Structure 1
Amino acid sequence: MSTAKISIAKKDHSEAIAALQTRFGKQLTTNITVREQHGHTMTWLANQPPDAVLTVQDKHEVAAAVEICNQYQMPVIAFGIGSSLEGQLNAPYGGLCIDMHAMDGILQVHNEDLTVTVQPGVTREQLNHYLRDTGLFFPIDPGANASIGGMVATRASGTNAVRYGTMKDVVLALEIVTASGEIVRTGTRAKKSAAGYDLTRLMIGSEETLGIVTEVTLKLFGISECIGSGICHFPTIEDACQAVMLTIQMCLPIARIELLDAMQIKACNQYANLDLDETLPYL
């Protein structure tokens, strides 16, 4: 049975851009340099710029922009800081890129119940810097200084997922703008709830194809009084994996574990002038 290749031509979005220009003025740009900066992530994919880039200041501007794009059937892509690896920022059919970086407010910290509510443009380093005197921190660490909105969109995780999980485990509630421009909320600050569909989990990892995140409520954790680290080599990768399984089964308070094979150890030696054995795997 043969399969036909489906090709969708790139539409002319000039009418939508004109309507957006009337509504947002200088907040909208069609400059090719800016468009190319927003047309890809940190991947091997070729740059595919949008037709225009809009920098928004609040959720109402996001809703207005999405409503206009919906009216003219113009694709919409949300942009944080562009540090992801999934390629969701590429715009093969053009459209509007909504830059969320200016929505970077930390709205409220609830020390008593270990939660914080932020706007999507806040980065993880910015959030932890803000929390430094509270004894609390946000644990999800994907490596890059990603925006919280982007981390929600891609269901980000990191090496400390061993103890703290991934974004799906720390997001309590979201405020989103739907494709029609409606502003809705999912979830609450309550850590235990069985009220209705779990729309929050549906949004996490959707790459904002179901709606644009404009507010996030997150779980926080207490900073450990003492932190230690170490490395250990093993005869084989199987032995290293067995050690990890035993460590977790014994409920040892491990925050992060990283497995490095021979190729990764060689790269570490070259980068940091180390002299680790390049024939053995390490934890």
Structure 2
Amino acid sequence: MNHPVPPLAVRRTFPTALLEALKAAFGERVSTTAAVREHHGRDESPFDPQLPDAVVFVTSTEDVQTAVRLCAEHNVPVIPYGNGSSLEGHLLAVQGGVSIDMSGLNQVLSIDAEDLTVTVQPGISRKQLNEALKDTGLFFPIDPGADASIGGMSATRASGTNAVRYGTMRENVLGLTVVLADGRV
């Protein structure tokens, strides 16, 4: 049984100028179709779906910066989207806005087995990361019970069945590249 999300604010009309600017910057990587918005407006929580007004598919940090900057200029909320496995409802667009889909940022950038570190992009899933690590003798221990994205797990301080032995995301993340609300890194 789904539960309604209490309204936090009145949902505003989505600015046409923002949609035009997003389409100019991202072309076909911007979607306002019902199916794409529905996919990005629901998660694994018991809350009713709350659809974003648009979805932007990013492939670089610069893309994230551009999308966030444009939304900030128009005072429109942004909602980062990983794998949609949230149990808390935090990816629901309760005030509308733009969902920024991180699935195009799903690469392992480096593995240093000697130093026990790996550098990844936020859209990589837990299973993808462990597949990339399997021949190194290393593994990523955080297991929240879903194939969540590393970005989403970092944002929610994920834990899971191995937390007592290996810690939570808090103890396993050494550094982040973060795009701030105004688009600065």
Q: TM-score range by the shorter chain?
A: over 0.9
For the aligned residue pairs, the C-alpha RMSD in angstroms reads 1.1
User: Aligned letter for 2:141?
Assistant: P
What is the rounded CA distance, in whole Å, between the counterparts of 1:9 and 1:155 in structure 2? Answer: 30
- 2-structure distance, mates of 1:129, 1:94: 36
| 1:9 aligned residue | 10
Specify the code of the residue in structure 1 equivalent to 2:13.
D
Hey, what does 1:77 align to over in structure 2?
Answer: 79
Deviations 1:11-39 (CA, angstroms, capped at 9, x unpaired)? 12222112111111100000011101100
Equivalents in 2 of 1:150, 1:144: separation in Å? 11
Percent identity over the alignment? 52
The answer to whether structure 1 residue 155 and structure 2 residue 157 are counterparts is yes
Larger radius of gyration: 1
- Give unpaired runs (5+ residues) of structure 1: 1-5, 184-283
Higher relative contact order (CA 8 A, sep 6+): 2
- Contact 2:143–2:161 (Cα < 8 Å) also in 1: yes
Q: Judge conservation of contact 1:43–1:85 (CA < 8 Å) in 2.
A: yes
- TM-score, structure 2 as length reference: 0.93
Residue deviations 1:201-235, cap 9 Å, x none?
xxxxxxxxxxxxxxxxxxxxxxxxxxxxxxxxxxx
Aligned length: 178
Match of 1:37, SS state, is helix
Q: Does 1:52 align with 2:54?
A: yes
TM-score, normalising length from structure 1? 0.61
Name the one with the larger strand percent.
1
Give, in angstroms, the shift of residue 10 of structure 1: 1.3
Letter in 2 for 1:178: L
SS at match of 2:151: helix
Structure 2 Cα separation of the partners of residues 134 and 160 of structure 1: 20
Contact 1:52/1:95, CA 8 A, preserved across alignment: yes
After superposition, the C-alpha distances for 1:98-156 in whole angstroms (9 at most, x for unaligned) are: 00011001000111110000000111111111111111111011111111001001111
